[in-house]
């Protein structure tokens, strides 16, 4: 019998991955720090027409694009004359399990079936669990979802408990763990024990599945307004949502559309802390994933992460928990759409951004998610209060304090965003590389130019700055 | 509480004890074990809550652990009435149905 100790299992991670993902990542490694991202995507995934065909087999995609006319009118009521961009919302909650995650799951699960696996396993506390469970049943596969769900007192995050309920409703097994990154260790043990397919969020299939979302936005936008959207806003966590959507936009010819990532600001809370775990009201779409995954994408559960946000992100905006709850209420009250709070993260930034843009510009918010018990502002705020968080009406920019206070705006005019400096993110990315002790070779600069969406000369500049910085720290 | 074979139960087991936690985890997490909770059908003929048992999970795996709950219900809900949120919602409805000349 194999050694099941933490160290032994982690040491076997590469062979376990290779057997359970169906991708030989080594084939795409290049000299230096680089790998051939586009070839990995091309070889191991599907063209967009096949993606759409696979998704149509299980009822995924073709979600409506809805103009938020009342919210746009509200934005214009507080903008200077001639300002207030039109806001459109891609209603991804209408997918089978209630979120865009069905797009990712549909391709992963279809692949698992094609390769002859008996079941799939996904490590996720989010909507992806329900998506994988739902798609697995459509393809007659067994399914296990591994969640980080409870703190050491056995108190579960309501949103995660709801997702567990959904997974069970589809007939999946839900393995619920307490806080800690060693979830990955248990996940590897399960893969080894069952021989199931690793339906990772970060394989080329999972990312390619989202390309159809970007593609549909371009098609629908052309039908509705006769041209491509000016801005697409995507909630950013692990990077897959933004990466896949942006790739789809480009494939549909919208290469001038600006792609903006948005996260909930949870700075100050430690994601692996047992104490902090239940002091947050968002379990995804926040900076605790957004920043680490942007600057070190290969931290994921596969050797090379296909979600690489900095390749596609033009700007990165942050909003507060209280603002997203307020906007969730607004979406229900002004547009008659009750949708889950985390999915409204990028809508929140869209409202602030629309004020700064002329009336003839268009913004597409590319997702919504289902709502229900545990997944409502009232459920989350009740839970927050029970965990000692103060809830007030007030200016979120001044009053918000993650883990201590949630400020519900006193007026819609208080909805604003904080902008993250993209070059700071790029410097962090380079610093993460430097910390691994690598020496960059010439071809690496080309790779980094693609990874960071900047010219080679700019890469050289940033690398020099970071090296000087790292040297002075020594 | 007694449970018989085939009943749907929840078990709990320690995956990593406090001393076995990964080096990277923060101190407050290191002090507690990594625990698993999973549900399944009881395989023993008869057991009591708190005893070590084995279950068969929805995917057909056999997992052992301490019996924690019998036929556990989903108890997460829609939450309490939150005055701050309700107030904000009512303001928005007033704007919608009362014209554009409202508060800024």
Mean pLDDT (whole number) for A419-438:
95
C-alpha distance from B26 to closest chain A C-alpha (Å): 6
Q: How confident is the model at residue A474 (pLDDT cuts 50, 70, 90)?
A: low
Q: Which residue from A369, A322, A374 is spatially nearest to A348, judged by alpha carbons? A: A322
Residue A248 has pLDDT above 70, yes or no: yes
Q: Strand locations in A339-423, DSSP E?
A: 362-365, 390-393, 405-408, 418-420
Of the candidates A239, A243, A221, the one whose C-alpha atom is nearest the C-alpha of residue A231 is A221
| Rounded Cα distance, A52 and A417, in Å | 34
Using pLDDT thresholds of 50, 70 and 90, give the confidence band for residue A263: very high
Shortest alpha-carbon distance between residue B53 and chain A (Å): 17
Residue A404: Cβ within 10 Å count: 12
Contact between chains at A161 and B76 (C-beta distance less than 8 A):
yes
Contact B39 A376 (CB under 8 A): no
pLDDT > 90 in chain A, percent = 94
* Residue A172 clears pLDDT 80, i.e. is over it: yes
Q: Is the separation of the CB atoms in A215 and A180 below 8 Å?
A: no
Q: Does B71 touch chain A (CB under 8 A)?
A: no
pLDDT at B100 over 90: no
* Residues contacting A165, CB < 8 A, separation 6+: A373, A374, B74, B76
Query: What's the whole-number mean pLDDT along residues B99-103?
Result: 52
For residue A254, the distance in angstroms to the closest alpha carbon of chain B comes to 34
Judge whether B97 is closer than 8 Å to chain A, CB to CB: no
Residue from A118, A170, A180 to probe the interface with B (highest B Cβ count within 10 Å)? A180
Q: Is B96 in Cβ contact with A333 (below 8 Å)? A: yes
Q: Is the CB of B36 inside 8 Å of chain A's CB atoms? A: yes
Task: Identify the sign of the CA torsion A111, A115, A118, A122.
Answer: negative
Is the per-residue pLDDT at A470 higher than 80? no
At A22 the pLDDT is: 85
CA-only gyration radius of chain A, Å? 21
- Chain A: residue whose CA lies nearest to B19: A6
CA–CA distance, A366 with A342 (Å, rounded to integer): 13
Q: B104 pLDDT band (50/70/90 cuts)?
A: very low
Mutate to test the interface with B, among A155, A268, A333 (most CBs of B within 10 A): A333
| Residues above pLDDT 70, as percent of chain A | 100
* Position A364 pLDDT exceeds 90: yes
Select from A77, A393, A408 the Cβ nearest to the Cβ of B100: A77
- For residues B91 and A326, is the Cβ–Cβ distance under 8 A? no
Instruction: Specify the pLDDT at position A408.
Output: 98
Which residues does A448 contact at the CB level (< 8 Å), separation at least 6? Answer: A33, A430, A440, A456, A459, A463
What token pair was written down for A365?
Answer: 């918010």
C-alpha distance from A376 to closest chain B C-alpha (Å)? 7
Residue whose entry in the numeric block shows the structure tokens 């069905």: A102
> pLDDT, tens digit, for every residue of A446-459?
999 999 999 999 99
Residue pLDDT, tens place only, A75-123: 999 999 999 999 999 999 999 999 999 999 999 999 999 999 999 999 9
What are the DSSP calls for A448-465, one per residue?
A: HHHHHTS-HHHHHHHHHH
CB contact under 8 A, B58 and A171: yes
Contacts of A172 in chain B (CB under 8 A): 58-59
Residues 45-64 of B with CB under 8 A from A: 57-61
Q: Are B91 and A381 in contact (CB < 8 Å)? A: no
Q: Are A220 and A91 in contact (CB under 8 A)?
A: no
How far is residue A463's CA from residue A452's CA, in Å, rounded to a whole number?
A: 12
Confidence of residue A437 (pLDDT cuts 50, 70, 90): confident
User: Which of A13, A153, A329 to mutate against chain B (most B CBs within 10 Å)?
Assistant: A329
Nearest CA in chain A to B33: A152
The pair phi, psi for residue A295, each rounded to 5°, is -90, -15
Q: Are residues B85 and A382, on separate chains, in Cβ contact within 8 Å? A: no
Which residues in chain A touch residue B82, judged by CB atoms under 8 angstroms apart? 377-378, 381-382, 391
Interval A258-263 mean pLDDT? 98
To which H or E segment does residue B12 belong? strand B8-16
CB A167 within 8 A of CB A133: yes
Question: Are B22 and A180 a contacting pair at CB < 8 A?
Answer: yes
- List CB contacts (< 8 A) between B38 and chain A: 173-176
Partner-chain residue, chosen from B34, B77, B78, that has the shortest CB–CB distance to A180: B34
Residue A32's pLDDT is what? Answer: 94
* Interface check B100 vs A, CB under 8 A: yes
> pLDDT band at A14, cuts 50/70/90?
confident
Check CB contact of B18 with chain A, cutoff 8 Å: no
For chain B, the average pLDDT equals 94
Tokens of B13: 């087991």
Cβ <8 Å between B34 and A270: no
Burial class (CB in 10 A: 0-12, 13-18, 19+), A24: exposed
Judged on CB neighbours under 10 Å (0-12, 13-18, 19+), A184 is middle
Q: Is the pLDDT of residue A48 over 50?
A: yes
Whether the per-residue pLDDT at A336 is higher than 80: the answer is: yes
d(CA A432, CA A33): 12
pLDDT (mean) for A124-136: 97
The mean pLDDT value for A216-244 works out to 98
pLDDT of residue A473 exceeding 80: no
How many residue contacts between A and B have a Cβ separation below 8 Å?
A: 164
Which ranges of A78-196 does DSSP label H, i.e. alpha helix?
101-114, 127-138, 158-169, 183-194
Q: What is the pLDDT of residue B101?
A: 54
In this prediction, residues B20-34 reach a mean pLDDT of: 95
Whether A182 sits inside 8 A of B21 (CB atoms) is: yes
The pTM assigned to this predicted structure is 0.96
Q: What is the signed CA dihedral for A469, A268, A297, A431, rounded to 10 degrees?
A: 0
Beta carbons of B38 and A174 less than 8 Å apart: yes
The pLDDT tens digits for A370-400 are 999 999 999 999 999 999 999 999 999 999 9
Which residue is listed with tokens 């208080």? A414
Name the pLDDT band for A281 (thresholds 50, 70, 90). very high
Mean pLDDT computed over every residue of chain A: 96
Residue of A nearest to B93 (CA): A333
Strands (E), A16-167: 65-67, 86-90, 119-123, 142-150
In this predicted structure, the answer to whether residue A300 has a pLDDT above a threshold of 90 is no
Of A150, A172, A194, nearest to B58 by CB-CB distance is: A172
What whole-number distance in Å separates Cα of residue A255 and Cα of residue A248? Answer: 10
State which residue of chain B sits closest to A78, comparing Cα positions: B104
Q: Do B96 and A334 touch (CB under 8 A)?
A: yes
Contact at CB, B74 and A165, closer than 8 angstroms: yes
The predicted pLDDT at position A301 comes to 83
């Amino acid at each position: 019998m194999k050694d099941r100790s933490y160290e032994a299992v982690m040491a076997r991670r590469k062979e376990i991955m290779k057997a359970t993902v169906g991708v030989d990542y080594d084939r795409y490694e290049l000299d230096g720090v680089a790998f051939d991202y586009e070839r990995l995507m091309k070889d191991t995934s599907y063209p967009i027409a096949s993606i759409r065909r696979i998704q149509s087999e299980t009822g995924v995609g073709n979600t409506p694009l809805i103009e938020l006319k009342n919210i746009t009118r509200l934005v214009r009521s507080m903008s200077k004359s001639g300002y207030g961009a039109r806001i459109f919302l891609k209603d991804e909650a209408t997918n089978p399990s209630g979120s865009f995650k069905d797009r990712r799951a549909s391709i992963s699960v279809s692949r698992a079936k094609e390769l002859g696996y008996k079941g799939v396993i996904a490590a996720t506390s989010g909507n992806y669990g329900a998506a994988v469970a739902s798609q697995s049943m459509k393809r007659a596969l067994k399914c296990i979802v591994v969640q980080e769900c409870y703190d050491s007192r056995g108190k579960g995050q309501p949103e995660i408990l709801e997702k567990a309920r959904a997974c069970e409703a589809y007939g999946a097994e839900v393995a619920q763990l307490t806080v800690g990154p060693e979830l990955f260790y248990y996940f590897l043990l399960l893969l080894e024990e069952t021989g199931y397919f690793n339906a990772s969020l970060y394989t080329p299939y999972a990312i390619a599945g989202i390309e159809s979302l970007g593609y549909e936005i371009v098609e629908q936008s052309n039908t509705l307004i006769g041209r491509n959207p000016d801005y697409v806003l995507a909630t950013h966590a692990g990077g897959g949502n933004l990466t896949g959507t942006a790739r789809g936009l480009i494939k549909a010819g919208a290469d001038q559309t600006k792609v903006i990532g948005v996260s909930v600001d949870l700075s100050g809370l430690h994601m692996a802390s047992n104490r902090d775990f239940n002091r947050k009201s968002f379990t995804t779409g926040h900076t605790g994933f957004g920043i680490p995954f942007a600057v070190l994408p290969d931290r994921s559960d596969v050797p090379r992460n296909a979600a690489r946000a900095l390749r596609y992100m033009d700007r990165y905006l942050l909003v507060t928990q209280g603002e997203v709850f307020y906007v969730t209420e607004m979406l229900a009250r002004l547009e008659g759409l009750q949708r889950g709070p985390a999915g409204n993260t990028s809508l929140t930034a869209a409202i602030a951004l629309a004020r700064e843009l002329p009336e003839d510009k268009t913004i597409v918010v590319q997702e919504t998610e289902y709502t229900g018990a545990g997944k409502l502002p009232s459920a989350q705020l009740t839970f927050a209060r029970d965990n000692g968080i103060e809830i007030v009406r007030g200016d979120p920019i001044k009053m918000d304090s993650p883990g201590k206070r949630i400020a519900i705006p006193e007026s819609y005019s208080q909805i604003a965003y904080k902008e993250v400096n993209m070059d700071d993110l790029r410097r962090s990315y380079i610093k993460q590389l430097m910390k691994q002790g690598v020496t960059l070779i010439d071809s690496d600069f080309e790779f980094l130019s693609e990874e960071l969406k900047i010219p080679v000369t700019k890469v050289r500049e940033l690398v020099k700055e970071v090296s000087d910085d790292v040297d002075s720290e020594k | 509480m007694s449970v018989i074979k085939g009943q749907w139960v929840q078990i709990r087991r320690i995956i990593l004890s406090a001393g076995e936690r990964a080096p990277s985890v923060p101190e407050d997490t290191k002090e507690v074990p990594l625990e698993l909770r999973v549900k399944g059908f009881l395989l023993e003929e008869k057991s009591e809550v708190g005893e070590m048992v084995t279950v068969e999970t929805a995917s057909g795996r056999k997992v052992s652990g301490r019996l924690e709950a019998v036929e556990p219900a989903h108890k997460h809900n829609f939450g309490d009435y939150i005055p701050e949120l309700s107030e904000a919602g009512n303001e928005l409805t007033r704007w919608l149905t009362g014209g554009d000349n409202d508060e800024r």
